[in-house]
């Protein structure tokens, strides 16, 4: 059954579904402001879920950052289900750009990571660990501004949550083990997001959740070059450090992460290489491009196009 009203809000349409809640585009009575309204589903009205929801509301009211979605209102006693109201961000969640055929240009990926790192640095300064940094919780506006959303899994720094929460593909080993967390868990998650936005693939290969858990805890990440050729070594090394399983070998603070990433981004932006050349191609096609670039000085990047590529140039 469709929902037409929640509290003083008229529901326009559903924007999405989370593990425990639905998110709607809504219009506030009298002001006619467009907002995003997040409401717990009926089957999730437990004390635990309500407590996590209340934490999200409390954190949302504390945070004022240009790259964090603002919480505007809330009613935890609403009969149809507790809800919170957020600014409506007219943009695209980045899970629309985390598959091999929908990847963003490298410059946009760099910009998103810079902005989200700043938002997470701000949250960490307030003693908050997000715990659910993933492409679906990042929204990119048409003007290039990126917004971090959904603090529903957030916990205070150096504490353990009541449950292990988050999205498995972006969890650090310590988060998966249910240990007390600090900013290094979110650093790992943003590293995994960077990997996914560059490749359209997860950092590991697994057929089920058990295998995924084993991979996160015990096995090295799949080398990023397996999925995308030609990335600068400085970027590959940065990603590897962000995704260190050993927490003491990872970036220890957001300051260090941001400073080092600034060097990486500056180096890439000043490079004359076309680092988007391989984006969207299969590995076999990437190998052909690499082969042709290395053996034919006459090959013009400006004249090379996907539509004009022929597999007849495949090397033996």
Query: For residues 187 and 240, is the Cβ–Cβ distance under 8 A?
Result: no
Percent above pLDDT 70 for the chain = 85
What are 196-219's pLDDT values in tens digits?
999 999 999 888 999 999 999 999
Give the DSSP H or E segment for 34.
strand 34-40
For residues 158 and 169, what is the distance between their CA atoms, to the nearest angstrom? 22
If you average pLDDT over every residue of the chain, what do you get? 86
What are 20-65's pLDDT values in tens digits?
889 999 999 988 899 999 999 888 878 888 888 888 888 888 899 9
Is pLDDT above 80 for 300?
no
The pLDDT assigned to 70 comes to 92
The pLDDT assigned to 55 comes to 84
- Same topology for domains 5-87 and 92-270, yes or no? no
- For the chain, the domains span 5-87, 92-270, 283-313
The pLDDT assigned to 311 comes to 35
Three-state DSSP at 291 gives helix
The pLDDT assigned to 111 comes to 98
Answer yes or no: 132 catalytic: yes
Given the residues 75, 132, 182, 186, the one annotated as active site: 132
Question: 271: pLDDT confidence band, cut at 50, 70 and 90?
Answer: confident
213: tokens are 């858990």
Is pLDDT above 70 for 278?
no
The pLDDT assigned to 128 comes to 93
The pLDDT assigned to 121 comes to 98
Q: Is the pLDDT higher at 7 or at 272?
A: 7
For residues 297 and 300, what is the distance between their CA atoms, to the nearest angstrom? 8
Please say whether the structural domain 5-87 has been given the CATH code 3.90.79.10. Answer: no
The pLDDT assigned to 301 comes to 45
160: tokens are 């353990």
For residues 152 and 53, what is the distance between their CA atoms, to the nearest angstrom? 6
Distant-in-sequence, close-in-space partners of 79: CB < 8 Å, separation ≥ 6: none
160-174 average pLDDT score = 81
What are 230-267's pLDDT values in tens digits?
899 999 999 999 999 999 999 999 999 999 999 999 99
Is pLDDT above 90 for 303?
no
Please identify, in words, the CATH class of the domain defined by 92-270: mainly alpha
What are 55-81's pLDDT values in tens digits?
888 888 889 999 999 999 999 888 888
Buried b (16+ CB within 10 A) or exposed e, 29-56: eeeeeebbbbbbeeebeeeebeebbebb
């Amino acid at each position: 059954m469709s929902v037409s009203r929640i509290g003083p809000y008229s529901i326009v349409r559903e924007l999405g579904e989370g593990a425990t809640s639905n998110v709607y585009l809504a219009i506030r009575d009298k002001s006619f402001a467009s907002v995003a309204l997040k409401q717990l589903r009926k089957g999730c009205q437990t004390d635990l879920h309500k407590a996590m929801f209340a934490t999200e509301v409390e954190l949302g009211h504390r945070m004022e950052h240009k790259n964090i979605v603002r919480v505007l209102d809330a009613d935890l006693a609403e009969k149809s289900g507790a809800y919170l109201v957020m600014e409506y961000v007219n943009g695209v969640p980045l899970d629309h750009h985390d598959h091999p055929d929908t990847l963003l240009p490298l410059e946009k990926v760099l910009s998103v990571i810079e902005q989200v790192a700043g938002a997470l640095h701000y949250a960490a300064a307030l003693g908050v660990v997000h715990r659910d940094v993933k492409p679906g919780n990042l929204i990119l506006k048409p003007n290039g501004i990126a917004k971090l959303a959904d603090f529903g899994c957030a916990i205070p720094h150096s504490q353990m949550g009541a449950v292990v929460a988050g999205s498995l593909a972006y969890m650090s080993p310590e988060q998966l083990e249910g240990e007390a967390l600090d900013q290094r868990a979110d650093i790992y998650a943003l590293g995994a997001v960077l990997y996914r936005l560059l490749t359209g693939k997860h950092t590991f290969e697994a057929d089920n959740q058990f295998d995924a858990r084993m991979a996160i805890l015990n096995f090295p990440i799949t080398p990023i070059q397996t999925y995308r050729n030609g990335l600068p070594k400085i970027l590959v090394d940065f990603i590897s450090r962000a995704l260190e399983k050993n927490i003491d070998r990872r970036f220890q603070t957001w300051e260090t992460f941001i400073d080092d990433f600034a060097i990486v981004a500056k180096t890439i932006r000043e490079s004359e290489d076309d680092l988007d050349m391989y984006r969207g191609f299969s590995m076999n096609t990437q190998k052909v491009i690499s082969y042709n670039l290395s053996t034919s000085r006459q090959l013009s990047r400006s004249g090379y196009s996907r539509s004009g590529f022929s597999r007849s140039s495949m090397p033996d």
